[in-house]
Every structure is written in C-alpha cells, then in structure tokens.
C-alpha cells in the first residue's frame, strides 16, 4: 500500500454544530413547558462561541448565560440584540456603562451588587433588569438566607426589575444523594418572598430530575456539548458527542528491548522483542493532560493504542503493536476524541471531568465546523 507524503503536522478538531443543535432540541423536548437557555461561557465550553451561539439561536434559544461582562460583550456582537444575555458573575462598579451599552443582564449574587445596580438605576432614573441568585447550599455565589431575609424589596430594589430568581444545583448528577431535593425545598421556601417572579433552577442534570425542578427557565451547558449529565440514566443516550479530534502520525519507530521513551524514562520496553511505536504532535499545550502519561489511550481505525511515556508539551508517543501495520503510516489519523474515546473517557483516565477536557482544548488545532 502506498500513501501520499505527509502533508502537515496540524491536528484537526471537528465540531458538529448540528449535533449541538439536536442536543438542545432534545433538552427542550424534555421540559416542554419551560424555556431552555444555553450556558455558552468559556467560549461555549471550548468549542467556539462564535459558531455555537448562532446555531443555538436558530434552534430557538433566546436566553444565553456567560461568566463575565467581557464574555457578554463578545457574545452580543455575535447574536445581536434580539436575544438575552445574563452574566453569572454579576455586575461591578467599573462595568455599569458597559452593561447598559450592550444590554447585558447581571445576575446579582449579594447585597453589595444589588446596591451597585440599584444605585446606578437611581442615578440614570431608569428601572434596570436583573436576576437574583439565591444560595440554596452551593456556598459559592448567591445570597445566603440571612441576606434574603434582610432584603427589603421596596427600599433596596425599587428601581430594579427582577426578571427571575435562580439557584444552582450542586450535585444533580448524583441520583442517590438527597441534596438536590434539599436545595429544591430551600429554593421554594426562599422564593415565596418574591411573589410571582419567574424562577430558574435546573442545569443540564437538573432537567432530568423531573418537572419539579424545571420551573420557568432551564440553563443547560454540558449536555449541549455532548457531556452526559446523568451517566446512570438510559434516556440520556440521546445526547451525542459533537467533537472529534485527530492527530497525524509524524514519526514511526521501533523501541528496542530495554530502551525507554520520553522524558524521565517513565516507560521502558520490558517485552521480549522490539515494540513498534508512533509519535503524534499533540501535548499538554493542546489541552491533552499530562496525567494521561502511561495511562491514556487513542485509536487508529478502531484499534486501541496506549499512550506510553510522558505527555510532553507538543508530543505523545503511542504503542501501535496492536494496530495492523497497514494503518500505521506517516500522516495516518489518530483519534484522540471521537466515537471510541469520548471526553468522559479521557476525563476518567486523567482524573478530572469532561468539562475540563473540553475547555482545555487548545488553539493550535485546525478547527472544522460542520
């Protein structure tokens, strides 16, 4: 078999936008009486908000969540002004004019942020929109019960238009734990103070806890991008992975008996014959965790190949002894993420979660959106 000369050492990241759209539509179908928004923070979990947000908008999404004011400004330039953008970190004193200019809605997390937004509303003599974040047990962002009880809606928020009150579930993916039910109970209790204001509680996993958690607005993130929010629930198989990452083989070797590969000699050929190995141009600078050293796996034409030696900044080495020789050639595509190795698989091998795998995807890839 002959092959074309190696054309490039560029890794290829393929992102199926239709899969992201279909994941969104599936989640909307799961809660038909609830608006379904989209968390597109961290560059749409590393997949590229410039491409992802428009496809979600065309699918009917009108509620987008970002982490910061800067992310909100960037997103506004992508989706226009006929959709809503909410900022999880809230508003700070040096961002007031920016929030106004770009029509961003702050999620107010504590009394100080309420004071900042209320003061600005009074200064410009305008009623300003906001979300209120109530802490029901995450103890990260959000107003604790003491602040909720102390809040005087007439005196503290008379210039604010509370569009929605929200909280965040800490462990909705763990069905055997009662904490989500406790948070739901607290959320309902705290919500009484705000009358008929709209409510939001469910993240990706929360959607699958049932209608009691859906309220008026759901805020999925991970499930849109193919991360299974409920690994032990069969119905989530409809959520598909939209990401494929390939790296070409750039060198082939035979590792002699007793010889090692990579930094610090962490892998030595202890067999009774030389071992065929391949080098591919991807490393921790591209988001492939160093924790995969001597632990991770990749695939070549459906055949599994182990990562051997240290994951370095730009390169890894793989054992191709189980891969038929006709599939091992310079330029042969090696599947890093795809049908045989999902972000969840990589996360399991490296001791993290699939969120980190996606958001760590580097910027040296040739990105192909289809």
Q: Is 2 inside any structural domain?
A: no
Q: Is 37 inside any structural domain?
A: yes
**Residues in the chain with pLDDT values less than 70:** 1-2, 5
| Cβ 253 vs Cβ 277: under 8 Å | yes
Q: Are residues 172 and 298 in the same domain?
A: no
Domain that holds residue 221: 17-238
Domain end point (choices 238, 264, 282): 238
> Residue 97 maps to which CATH number?
3.20.20.10
pLDDT tens-digit series, residues 321-343: 999 999 999 999 999 999 999 99
Tokens linked to 221: 């993130």
Q: Is 208 inside any structural domain?
A: yes
Q: Are residues 224 and 272 in the same domain?
A: no
In the chain, what is the straight-line distance between the N-terminal and C-terminal CA atoms, in Å?
31
Domain end point (choices 213, 238, 263): 238
Q: Is 11 inside any structural domain?
A: no
Q: Are residues 285 and 342 in the same domain?
A: yes
pTM, rounded to two decimals = 0.94
Q: Give catalytic residues, as residue numbers.
A: 41, 263
> Residue 290 maps to which CATH number?
2.40.37.10
Q: Are residues 359 and 304 in the same domain?
A: yes
Torsion, Cα 185 190 192 198, to 10 degrees, reads: -90
| Cβ 283 vs Cβ 312: under 8 Å | yes
Q: Output the CA–CA distances (angstroms, integers) from residue 8 to 12, 248, 338, 361, in the order listed.
A: 10, 8, 21, 19
Q: Is 3 inside any structural domain?
A: no
Q: Is 8 inside any structural domain?
A: no
Q: Is 88 inside any structural domain?
A: yes
Q: Are residues 127 and 257 in the same domain?
A: no
Q: Are residues 138 and 252 in the same domain?
A: no
Q: Are residues 262 and 357 in the same domain?
A: yes
What's the pLDDT score for residue 8?
81
Task: List, as one string, the DSSP characters of 181-208.
Answer: HHHHHHHHHHHGGGTT-EEE---HHHHT
Q: Are residues 275 and 176 in the same domain?
A: no
CA distance 219 to 122: 30
Q: Is 4 inside any structural domain?
A: no
Q: Are residues 178 and 287 in the same domain?
A: no
Q: Are residues 164 and 254 in the same domain?
A: no
Q: Are residues 312 and 361 in the same domain?
A: yes
Task: List, as one string, the DSSP characters of 116-185.
Answer: HHHHHHHHHT--EEEEEEB-SS--SSSB-HHHHHH--HHHHSTTEEEEEEE---SSTT-TT-THHHHHHH
Domain end point (choices 196, 211, 238): 238
Q: Are residues 35 and 81 in the same domain?
A: yes
How many domains would you assign to the chain?
Answer: 2
């Amino acid at each position: 078999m002959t092959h074309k000369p190696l054309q490039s050492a560029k890794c290829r990241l393929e992102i199926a936008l239709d899969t992201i759209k279909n994941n969104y539509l599936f989640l909307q179908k799961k809660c038909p009486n609830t608006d379904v928004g989209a968390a597109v923070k961290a560059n749409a979990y590393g997949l590229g908000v410039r491409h992802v947000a428009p496809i979600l908008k065309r699918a009917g999404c009108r509620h987008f969540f970002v982490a910061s004011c800067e992310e909100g400004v960037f997103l506004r330039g992508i989706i226009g002004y006929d959709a809503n953008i909410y900022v999880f970190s809230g508003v700070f004193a040096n961002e007031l004019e920016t929030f106004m200019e770009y029509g961003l809605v702050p999620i107010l997390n504590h009394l100080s942020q309420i004071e900042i937004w209320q003061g600005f509303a009074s200064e410009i003599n305008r009623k300003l929109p906001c979300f209120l974040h109530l802490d029901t047990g995450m103890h990260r962002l959000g107003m604790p019960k003491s602040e909720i009880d102390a809040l005087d809606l007439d005196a503290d928020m008379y210039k604010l238009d509370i569009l929605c009150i929200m909280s965040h579930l800490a462990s909705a993916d763990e069905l055997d734990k009662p904490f989500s039910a406790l948070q739901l109970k607290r959320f309902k209790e705290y919500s009484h103070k705000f009358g008929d204001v709209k409510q939001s509680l469910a993240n990706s996993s929360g959607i699958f806890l049932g209608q009691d958690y859906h309220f008026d607005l759901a805020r999925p993130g991970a499930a849109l991008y193919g991360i299974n929010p409920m690994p032990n629930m069969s119905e989530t198989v409809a959520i598909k992975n939209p990401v494929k990452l390939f790296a070409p083989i750039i060198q082939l070797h035979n590792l002699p008996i007793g010889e090692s590969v990579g930094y610090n000699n962490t892998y030595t050929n202890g067999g009774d014959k030389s071992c065929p190995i391949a080098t591919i141009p991807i490393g921790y600078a591209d988001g492939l965790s160093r924790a995969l050293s001597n632990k991770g796996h990749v695939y070549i034409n459906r055949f599994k190949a182990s990562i051997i030696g240290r994951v370095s900044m730009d390169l890894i080495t793989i054992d191709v002894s189980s891969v038929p020789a006709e599939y091992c050639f310079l330029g042969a595509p090696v599947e890093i993420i795809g049908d045989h190795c999902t972000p969840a698989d990589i996360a399991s091998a490296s001791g993290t979660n699939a969120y980190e795998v996606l958001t760590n995807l580097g910027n040296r890839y040739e990105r192909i959106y289809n």
